[in-house]
Chains A and B, each alone.
Chain A
Amino acid sequence: MTSPAGGAHVPGGPGGSTAAGATPQARPGVPPVEPAAEEFDLEEAIHQVEAEEHEGRPPAAGLLGNLVVAVAVVALGVAAVVGSLALDAGSARSPEAGTWPLVLSVVVVVLGLALVATARRTTDAERFSRTSWLVLAGLATMVVFVALISVIGFEIPAALLAFVWLRFLGHESWRTSVVTSLAMVVAFYLVFVAALSVPIPHLF
């Protein structure tokens, strides 16, 4: 059972999204039915709301992308099998440190192979597009933050991170970005250093 492209993206819902069971087949060719149409179909309507919510998302990944993901899962499983065997696999009678990890990693390999087999029908992975660079940039600011915090304290890396996110990832104006990022650092300084006296590395 595969779910439609929209299915995977309901933001952080408790207990899972409605899409998984509600719309078992992706029907890309079928135009969504207006909810106020003659006959109101719950399933179609849910599908439509979710599709609308994910309008701004990149398109679904192709066969190659799905295969790469599936192979990566298999590779992860194989690596875990090797690691578990190195730990002493034991047996059911005398379970050792490696027994449980071995069981799990074999399951991962099997399920990964199932992913390879169903790659053609998978529609819930997204393509990496030009906007994915934004994510990489966002991650880079965090890596810079963690690399510098022990050396020069949190203030400058935090201001830098906030500025990049506001100006370049969020397209705020230069003035808003500068003022807001400085204000944020001051606020964080007051809360964490002045009020809570958290021993976080800081300059001042």
Chain B
Amino acid sequence: MDLAPVLDGFGVVLEPTNLLYCLIGVVVGMLVGVLPGLGPAATIAILLPITIGIEPVTAIIMLAGIFYGAQYGGTITSVLLRLPGEASSVVTVFDGHALARNGRAGTALGIAAVGSFIGGTVSIVALSFVAPLVAGFALDFGPPEYTALALLGILLVATVSSGDRLKAVIAACVGLLLATVGRDGFTGAERFTFDNLSLADGLDFVPIAMGLFGLGEILYNLEERHRAVHAPATVANVWPSRKDLRESSGAIGRGSVLGFFLGILPGGGATLGSLASYALEKRRSKTPERFGRGAVEGVAAPESANNAAATSSFIPLLTLGIPANATMAVIYGALLIQGVSPGPQLVDQEPELFWGVVNSMYVGNILLLIMSIPLVGLFVKILRVRSTILAPITVLITLIGVYTVNYDVFDIALVIVFGALGYLMKKLGFDPGPLVLAFVLGSLLEDSLRRSLLLFSGDPTGFFTRPISGTLLVLFLLVALLPLIRAALPRRRGNARRSARSPENKELV
């Protein structure tokens, strides 16, 4: 492996501008993780307009920082308030909050920070070795392979998304349909533009992501009864003791590795990683009854895993050009806006961008570790900021921000329309994630599909004559048909008690 580009990457990271944006990214990420309401996908979407004026590498360093920073922040609310800010921190609640009730909140937060740091760092090192290999393997992918890969990626994300799988797949199809709006690249025909000039070039990614994730979430939260947040006044003794570290070192190690591998899978990501590693620790433990009552490993394992997974979910994006989850889809969109199309050629053609972003994560993780241990008290205070004051600020940033992209009032109207759609989708059980993901992959997918059909002179079975596209499509069919087969089989398991490992097994199918 050639080390020169890797070292150049460190040069890129250490430029003052990039360091600054990395710091901004992780601080914003941590805040977002702490504050209830907006998730990382929504925040990154809302901040898309400000990335337009800056260098691609700087922009992505910041957005990546928001993503993994949010993993650190989510821990704080899980432990102190029993409110997981992010889905990936849900399992941390059990032992984290139990520890806090026993007066050991500081220990839980300290162990979580150390675990997150180690998990993140292990994952970056592994990414540095694995990513170029995957990219090299994918370099000679043709249109059929990309068709199959995009189809599988979208389906997997829809399958493990929150809520009903059927609805998630419908959302994905609608996303693909929205991507067809505008002039057709092959024939030049106008599609679904309703003679509107603003639609002739297709729908922009920015208003769709900002509307569905940003405004949609804010509107959805309006319906919630406001709960008073009782943050504890002080959190003492954040530094984990030698004993705690010894007890959790195994959990951190296993969590990091498990998180890394699950993060690579499309649709896998941080949530699955944290769940699986918690279940693993509980099964391995000689004293499983301690879990749920304040076991340090029960905090260490999922927190290491969700950070490792957050980092490794960059692999499919940066090496195949396939985002592994909703947040990655927004970062994919950000790259496209910057004129960079992520794919296997990225490592070779844009080494500075690739290694700059990857290596920035070391710096970001160090910054987060530095911030999270001594500054926990400060972040706890931020919990008192009222969402009623944050909401109108976010709405105005969205409405004015989307205008700054093209200086077009039509985009403001569009973001409102998609905000309303995002609200309705969340309300009615449709996850907006698959829609956005499918939208960003839409034109790639249609393009590859049409090229492939021309290649096979119109015979769809041609896909199965090539080993890689064939395998991927067989997987696609398996994932698509499995629920049907399962529904057809008589329900034997019914109310049988499921083992603690079952969630992981089920999500992996």
Residues of A in contact with B (beta carbons under 8 Å apart): 1-3, 7-24, 35-36, 40-43, 45-46, 49-50, 52-53, 55-58, 61, 69, 73, 76, 80, 83, 87-88, 91-101, 104-105, 107-108, 111-112, 114-115, 118, 122, 124-126, 128-129, 131-132, 134-135, 138-139, 142-143, 145-146, 149-150, 154, 158, 161-162, 165-166, 169-172, 180-181, 184, 188, 192, 196, 198-200
Contact = CB atoms under 8 A, between A and B. Distances in A.
A11 to B, nearest CB: 5
B324 A15 contact: yes
B391 interface: yes
A15 B88 contact: yes
Given A20-B507, A134-B222, A111 B93 contact: no
Interface in B384-437: 386-389, 391-393, 395-396, 399-400, 403-404, 407, 409, 412-413, 416, 419-420, 423, 426-429, 431, 433
What are the 4 closest A-B residue pairs judged by CB atoms, nearest first? A12-B39, A15-B269, A13-B87, A170-B388
Given A14-B326, A18-B87, A149-B409, A41 B389 contact: no
A22 B187 CA distance: 46
A43 B170 contact: no
Interface stretch (B15-23, B232-240, B354-362, B446-454): B446-454
Given A15-B325, A50-B90, A42 B500 contact: yes
B503 interface: yes
B293 interface: yes
A49 B93 contact: yes
Contacts of B162: 3, 7-10, 13, 16-17, 19-20
Contacts of B502: 43
A36 B157 contact: no
Nearest to B74: A13
B427 A126 contact: yes
B431 A16 contact: yes
A15 B395 contact: no
A93 B268 CA distance: 36
Contacts of A15: 87-88, 157, 160, 267-272, 309, 313, 324-327
B382 interface: no
Nearest to B423: A135
A148 to B, nearest CB: 11
Given A12-B42, A13-B162, A122-B164, A18 B399 contact: no
B479 interface: no
Contact of A150 (B386, B404, B409): B409
B347 interface: no
B396 A22 contact: no
Contact of B420 (A96, A108, A139, A170): A139
Given A21-B507, A108-B177, A161-B392, A10 B423 contact: no
A37 B321 CA distance: 46
Contact of B449 (A10, A22, A100, A105): A100
25 contacts: A7-B164, A8-B164, A10-B87, A11-B217, A13-B86, A15-B324, A15-B327, A18-B275, A21-B506, A21-B507, A35-B94, A43-B503, A46-B90, A49-B82, A50-B90, A95-B449, A100-B449, A101-B192, A107-B173, A124-B164, A129-B223, A145-B399, A145-B412, A146-B399, A184-B393
